[in-house]
Amino acid sequence: MLRKSGDAAALENQSSRRQFLKKSAATAGVAISAPTIIPSSALGLDGAVAPSERIVVGGIGIGRRGGYDLGCFLQQKDVQFVAVCDIKQKRRDAVKKQVDAHHSNDKCATYRDFRELLDRSDIDAVLIATGPNWHATAAMTAAKSGKDMYCEKPVTKNISQSLILADTMRRTSRVFQAGTQRRNLPHFAFACELARTGKLGKLKKVYAHPAGMQAMMSGWLVPETEPDAELVDWNMYLGPAAWRPFNKKLLDGFNFEKGGGLVGGGVLEWGSHCVDLCQWAVNDCPPPVEYNAPKDGELVAKYENGTELIFREKGWIPLGSCPVRFEGEDGWVEAGDSGKMVLSSPELLAGREVEEIGGYPATFHVRDFLDCVKSRRQPKGNAVAACNAHIACHAANIALHLGRQVKYDNVNHEFIDDEQANRLRSEALREPWRL
Amino acid sequence: MKSSSLRLFLLMTGLMVLPSGVLPLSAQQPKDSAVEEKRLLQVLRSDAPAAQKAITCKELAIHGSGAAVPDLAKLLPNPQLSSWSRIALEAIPGEQSDAALRQAAESLRGQLLVGVINSIGVRRDKKAVPILIARLQDGDLEVAAAAAVAMGRIADDEATLALQKALPMVSAELKSSVAEACVLAAEYRLLNGQKQKAAEVYDQVRNADVPIQRIVEATRGAILARDQEGVPLLIQTLRSKEKKLRQLALATVREFPGDRIDTALAAELNEASPERAVFIIQAMADRPQTVVLPAILSAVREGKPMVQAAAIDSLRRVGDESCLPILLTVATGDNTELKEIAKSTLAELPGEGVNQRIAMMLSSAKAGENALLLHLIAQRRVDAVPQVVQALSSADSTIRHAALVALGQTVSLDRLSLLLEAVVQPGNSADSEVASRALRAASVRMPDREACAKQLAMAMKKAAPAKRTTLLEILAEVGGDTALAEVSAAAMSADLQLQDDGSRLLGKWNSVEAAPSLMRLALSGASSKYRVRGMRGYIGVARKFPMPESQRVEMCQQAFEKASRTDEQKLVLEVLKIHPSLEGLSLAVQAQKVPAVKADATVAASMIAQKLGGKGVDVAAIIAAGGMKPVTLKIISAAYGAGNVKKDVTAVITKHAGNLPWVKLPDNSYNASFGGDPVPGKVKQLSIRYVMNGKQGEASFGENSPILLPQPK
């Protein structure tokens, strides 16, 4: 159970100088809030969205998480959602109903095969919210079709996919936003900025919460009668995953083949958020070069400059899920999904006010994506950032899986003198899929 | 059950989560790949079910060698196992795997062939190029497309030349894949320094009749391969009528090296429509090292409102002190929206000389600019106290208030008296509240808080009663020994207002050091209201702060004994529950003897016992000593395990259940007590259904927790 925030501060802080930050804190400084957008009226549009400025969006794999993301897209006035693809008929129909009601028309098209949706030249961007099994393959197929994309996480199943993703987005000149929405929340952004800009002094340790360091996989279950493909398209559901017979228990796309079958679990599921924030704190530098086997609930990795990335299960100030902590020689900061953060000294605020936004909404992240679709800037959760964070997670998982230290070479993208680890860098896709 | 059988069993029963090392690979013991490979090959050669062979392929991806290739290759034509086999074949280094895939590429058909060709591409097997060239002609479009892309990945001269030749010849359906492959091959050359050859391939693609996305990719490559000579093509692309190409140009601007493109963009800005200019400015601002700043400033001055907005906004990334005059003009101008953007940009304007310039400008500011500059001084924490002090005497309250706020953010300890004076003896009563807020903001950020607290304490002595409350509140926020002493003295003083203020602030004190003062207030406070504040504050300290558990329990003991009301005694029990310890359990058990809190103490004792589980703590004696009443207890069933794997442990639980709601197992380890670990490596639970005093109940316990059965309702 979450303790009251006052307790959280007190538990951690010996000193009353360490203050728990509140939105209401009266300061005269610069407000750190969700990203601001130049009002359209300032752009001469009087609040309206010119048809030429509308972004036409389609959705691929819109289940529970996708439904949330879809809501964030539909909140944006410049989004015209026109199509949905899902391997489940019920979901296709449900999304169409929601979208049609929103746009007051009946034009949301439905597809079972996402390639048909990608063939539509009128669609600018896609929301990819399939299970993790499909993320990288669907994203790269979309990129080659000329679509920008907001893609849920974990984005990749292994190190090789992470590298190819970054290369593909660069080559195809696509705007890619990983579903790492915390990068667009003020308190996480501020915490990362403190670390990145040296306000904490020389950075010594960054902590991430993996929430369950264990390998996950989906095996073959007892074969069941495969449903009509129009209802549930099992072949498309498997997609790039190695073949196995239909069993409805495997239709939980969220957990199916998470992390590639051999290594995944919490390190990928939560790491793709909190390791991603740690990566931001170290200025999105290449991932750590050394990963040790876990000990006493901690897996310690080291960056080239000696800074440690620590996957830690316990010992967090109760600030909500997905906590991160950054420790420098001169101070520290810890933040979590409550929207709150704790600082080693209020002076780190330098008079600034940080808006508290709890519940990790994706609205701002979606807006960042849409703005970048127009400007062609790189969004906060761009492919290179996602690539580095995911490599850190995959490499940690490989150390976890092998039960020993592994060392990673960021230039050649290989583990040093470690064939077993190197063979876990990639995994063949089921035919006909390729990256 | 043998390990291989167990593995299969788990697979077939819906294994979803594998603790690392349990299954199926070499996480803990098997490190010797040669040994593992032999075992795995036996599985492949057996009549084991396909499910087991599938997972065996995955294990061979780590442990397999050339010796495993023949057995894996046999699975390539198997629709169920082909993809599993390729997982291993793609991973196993060496010629044997390449040869097996090449052989399959000549014999398989359809989707399985596509998969094999994809694997050849991943492995970049140059020897396969002749086979792939032949497959470019395959009647199956998917096969031909896979062959093209594989050739693009291999990207040697033979493959690249063949792709270039094929591009104009192949069917319209295949053109996109061949173009994709050409772009891959060109990129390979670009990365290897063969810029001219790369540009040649890119140019061929961008001039071909291929889908727009392929032209986008090729155009990007063609620009970058030309290096500085690519600027004209980049600008030409920026002017394209094709939206996708314009978008490409905006993205490529951001990755283009050198500064020639910056000059070109500055010139382009003059020609662009307002809509295009906005995007060009945004791209220019993403090149902070080489941006042509005068062009952006010109847009701020002369652009249409939408261009002005973009230009002003971009200055927060690329501006410097030279931008201050124009930004101040806009920020104090008439356009409401541009004003707000300018103010926000001013607060973040980069550049080492910005703060100094702002301080200088305050001395000679035009009417209307003073308040804004003071606001900026506060926001940016500009060191300009002398100039700000002058503003304190302004006749305009807006300026005076802005000056006070600025002092709050910038004043140092040696000038804190400025704000103390403004609070204690305000020249204008309308400034009082603002001055108090400024003093608070200044005080809490002082590095030497003891020195700051002393100044505040001195000021209190000569302050009017109403101001003393303010100063006392600020002292409490500052914290430290001096502040604590002042607040404690106030709480125990003869002054009624100070008693109220002091006890209120002391009750919320945020450090362990307040404990003695709080207990003193709890025992000797002037009224019961203040004594309750003291006691609650004291218990709060025990609850909130890290300290040795023996010290915490001692504090709890003190509080429990001295508390005059059961409400506070119950709070003590809450503390014991939050911080479970053996000493705390003992105290909770003793508390059961106090009738008014007996029920709460029993719950607390139970919860503490639960939390102490797994730590080898023998709590039975302590509970018995607490006078726990005998019960009639019958165990209906008990199961121990994880997920779907449960072991019936009814007999063991029944044997050790007595006439207390407490089951003492023969060993603190459940596994030892129940004859082994039913699900190695997983966190397990014990579930018990029982009847206590005639009522049926059910309870679950984490592994190795003390088994204290609650009385069913």
pLDDT band with cut points at 50, 70 and 90 for residue B628: low
Residue A251 lies in a domain: no
Q: Residue A69: which domain range?
A: 51-181
**Band of the pLDDT at A2, cuts 50, 70, 90?**
very low
Closest to A420 (Cβ–Cβ): which among B62, B114, B441? Answer: B62
Instruction: Lowest mean pLDDT of A137-146, B144-153, B542-551, B626-635, name the range.
Output: B626-635
Nearest to B379 among A30, A145, A403 (CB): A30
A256 pLDDT more than 80: no
pLDDT for the residue numbered B27: 41
**B88 inside domain:** yes
Instruction: Quickly state the pLDDT bin for B616 (edges 50, 70, 90).
Output: low
> Mutation test of the interface with chain A: which of B18, B81, B84, B375, choosing the one with the most A Cβ atoms within 10 A?
B18
Q: CA–CA separation, A174 vs A188, rounded Å?
A: 26
pLDDT score, position B3 = 39
Is residue A235 included in any domain, yes or no?
A: no
Chain A residues close to B288, C-beta within 8 Å: none
CB B479 to CB A145 under 8 A? no
Does A404 share its domain with A352? yes
Residues of B in contact with A261 (CB under 8 A): 58
Mean pLDDT for the stretch of residues B488-517 = 95
Q: Could you identify the residue written with the tokens 């220019």?
A: B284
Candidates B17, B149, B509; nearest CB to A214: B17
Mean pLDDT of all residues in B450-458: 97
Q: What pLDDT score was predicted for residue B613? A: 55
User: What is the rounded distance in angstroms from the CA atom of residue B441 to the CA atom of residue B452?
Assistant: 12
Using CB atoms, pick whichever of B310, B338, B544 lies closest to residue A11.
B544
Supply the pLDDT for residue A385.
98
- The predicted structure's pLDDT at residue B260: 98
Q: A193 and A171: one domain?
A: no
Predicted TM-score of the model (pTM) = 0.82
Q: What DSSP string runs through A296-356? A: TTEEEEE-TTS-EEEEESS---S--SS-EEEEESS-EEEE-TTS-EEES-GGGGTT-EE--
Do A147 and A204 sit in the same domain of this protein?
A: no
Task: Tell me if A16 is assigned to some domain.
Answer: yes
Same domain for A174 and A194, yes or no, is no
Q: What is the pLDDT of residues B190-216, one digit of tens each?
A: 999 999 999 999 999 999 999 999 999
For residue B66, being part of any structural domain is answered with: yes
* B20·A36 Cβ contact <8 A: no
Assign B702 a pLDDT band (cuts: 50, 70, 90).
confident
Looking at residues A359-386, what average pLDDT do you find?
97
Bond before B546 cis per omega within 30 degrees: no
Task: Compute the Cα dihedral for B119, B122, B125, B126 and give only its sign.
Answer: positive
For residues A205 and A311, membership in a common domain is answered with yes
Q: Which of B17, B190, B475 to mutate: most A Cβ within 10 Å?
A: B17
In a domain, B219, yes or no: no
Domain assignment of residue B685, yes or no: yes
Give this complex's ipTM. Answer: 0.91
B307-358: pLDDT as tens digits? 999 999 999 999 999 999 999 999 999 999 999 999 999 999 999 899 999 9
* Residue B500: pLDDT over 60: yes
Min distance A181 CA to chain B CA atoms (Å): 22
Q: Which residue has the tokens 């990819």?
A: A128
Q: Which chain B residues are within 8 Å of A214, Cβ to Cβ?
A: 17-20
Evaluate if residue B458 carries a pLDDT over 90: yes
The answer on pLDDT for B691 being more than 80 is yes
Length of chain B: 713
Q: What is the pLDDT of residue A258?
A: 59
**In the A/B pair of chains, how many CB contacts fall below 8 A?**
237
- CB distance B212–A146 less than 8 Å? yes
Looking at the structure, tell me whether residues A55 and A131 fall in a common domain.
Answer: yes
- Helices B354-363/B324-331 angle, 10° precision: 60
List the beta bridge partners of residue B647: B640
From the CA of B249, how many Å to the nearest CA of chain A? 9
Greater confidence (B502 vs B29) lies with B502
Measuring CA to CA, which residue among B310, B303, B246, B300 is closest to residue B278?
Answer: B310
Task: Say if residue B256's pLDDT is above 60.
Answer: yes
The answer to whether residue B198 is domain-embedded is no
Question: Which of B44, B68, B93 finishes a domain?
Answer: B93
Q: Is residue B134 part of a domain?
A: no
> Do residues A80 and A200 both lie within one domain?
no
CA distance A418 to chain B (A): 11
In a domain, A173, yes or no: yes
Identity of the residue in A243, A261, A375 whose CB atom sits nearest the CB atom of B282: A375
Within a domain: residue B672? yes
Residue of A nearest to B27 (CA): A402
Is B598 within 8 Å of B592 (Cβ atoms)? yes
Q: Where is pLDDT greater, at B217 or B693? A: B217
Tell me the residue length of chain A. Answer: 435
What is the least distance, in Å, from the CA of B110 to any CA of chain A? 9
Residue of B394, B362, B469 lying closest to B424 (CA atoms): B469
- Select from B45, B78, B93 the last residue of a domain: B93
| CA-based radius of gyration for chain B | 39
pLDDT at residue A32, rounded to an integer = 67
Which residues of A are less than 8 Å from B505 in CB distance?
none
pLDDT for the residue numbered A372: 97
Q: In B, which residues are within 8 Å of A401 by CB distance? A: 20-21, 25, 27
Q: Which one of B246, B382, B449, B510 would you mutate to disrupt binding with A, by most A Cβ within 10 Å of its Cβ?
A: B510
Within 8 A of B86 by CB-CB distance, chain A residues are: 428
CA atoms within 13 A on the CB side of B395: 1
Q: What angle do CA A205, A209, A212 make, to 5 degrees?
A: 135
pLDDT at A215 over 70: no
- Mean pLDDT, rounded, of chain B: 91
In a domain, A367, yes or no: yes
Q: How large is the average pLDDT for residues B501-527?
A: 96
What type of residue sits at position B256?
F
The answer to whether residue B661 scores a pLDDT higher than 60 is: yes
Whether A291 maps to a domain, the answer reads: yes
- Please check whether residues A268 and A402 belong to one and the same domain: yes
Shortest Cα–Cα distance, A45 to chain B (Å):
9
Q: Is the pLDDT of residue B614 over 70?
A: no
Indicate the residue of A220, A222, A347 with minimum beta-carbon distance to B445. Answer: A347
* Nearest Cβ partner for A16 among B142, B347, B511: B511
Contact A202, A329 (CB under 8 A): yes
Q: What was the pLDDT predicted at B5?
A: 36
**Is B77 in contact with B105 (CB distance < 8 Å)?**
no
Contact at CB, A172 and B213, closer than 8 angstroms: yes
Give the pLDDT confidence score for residue A3 in this predicted structure.
Answer: 28
Q: Do B58 and A262 count as a contact with CB atoms less than 8 A apart?
A: yes
pLDDT of residue B307: 96
**Percentage of chain B surpassing pLDDT 90?**
77
Whether the Cβ atoms of residue A346 and residue B444 lie closer than 8 Å to each other:
yes
Cβ A29–B379 below 8 Å, yes or no?
yes
Burial of B312 (0-12, 13-18, 19+ CB in 10 A): buried
Choose the final residue of a domain: A181, A198, A225. Answer: A181
For residue B449, give the nearest of A17, A30, A434 by CB distance.
A17
DSSP annotation of A250 reads G
Q: Do B379 and A28 touch (CB under 8 A)?
A: yes
| Structural domain boundaries enclosing B682 | 629-713
Question: Which of B604, B575, B577, B579 lies closest to B590, judged by CA?
Answer: B604
pLDDT of residue B682: 77
Domain containing residue A357: CATH number: 3.30.360.10
Of A139, A157, A181, the one marking the end of a domain is A181
pLDDT of residue A217 exceeding 70: no
In the predicted model, is pLDDT for residue B631 greater than 70?
yes
Last residue of one domain, picked from the residues B93, B115, B145: B93
* Average pLDDT of the segment spanning B458-468: 93
Closest-CA distance of chain B to residue A123, Å: 12
Residues B112-121 have a mean pLDDT of 98
Give yes or no for residue B366 having a pLDDT over 90. Answer: no
Position A128 pLDDT exceeds 90: yes
Kindly report which listed range (A39-53, A123-137, B10-24, B569-583) carries the lowest average pLDDT score.
Answer: B10-24
CB atoms B479 and A214 under 8 Å: no
Domains in chain A: how many in total?
2
Q: Which among A9, A36, A249 is the nearest to B14, CB-wise?
A: A249
Block residue for tokens 């019920």 = A90
Mean per-residue pLDDT, B43-62:
94
Report pLDDT for A13.
39
Total number of domains constituting chain B: 2
Based on DSSP, count helices (H) and strands (E) in chain A, helices before strands: 13, 18
* Lowest mean per-residue pLDDT among A276-285, B297-306, B618-627: B618-627
Cβ distance B254 to A433 less than 8 Å, yes or no, reads no
B633, B624 Cβ separation under 8 angstroms: no
Q: Which long-range contacts (CB under 8 A, 24 or more apart) does A89-98 make?
A: A89/A230, A89/A231, A89/A232, A90/A231, A91/A62, A91/A63, A95/A59, A95/A62, A95/A67, A95/A70, A98/A67, A98/A70
- Whether residue B648 lies inside any domain: the answer is yes
Taking an 8 Å cut-off on Cβ atoms, the answer to whether B544 and A36 are in contact is no
Q: Are residues A147 and A292 in the same domain?
A: no
d(Cα B265, Cα A288) in Å, to the nearest integer? Answer: 38
Task: Please tell me which of the candidates A10, A41, A432 has its beta carbon nearest to residue B146.
Answer: A432
Question: What residue in B sits closest to A426 (Cα-Cα)?
Answer: B91
Contact B146 A43 (CB under 8 A): no
Q: Does residue A225 lie in a domain region?
A: no
A44, part of any domain: no
Distance (Å, rounded) from C-alpha B344 to C-alpha B108? 65
Distance of residue A177 Cα from the nearest chain B Cα, in angstroms: 15
CA–CA gap between residue A125 and residue A127 (Å, rounded): 7
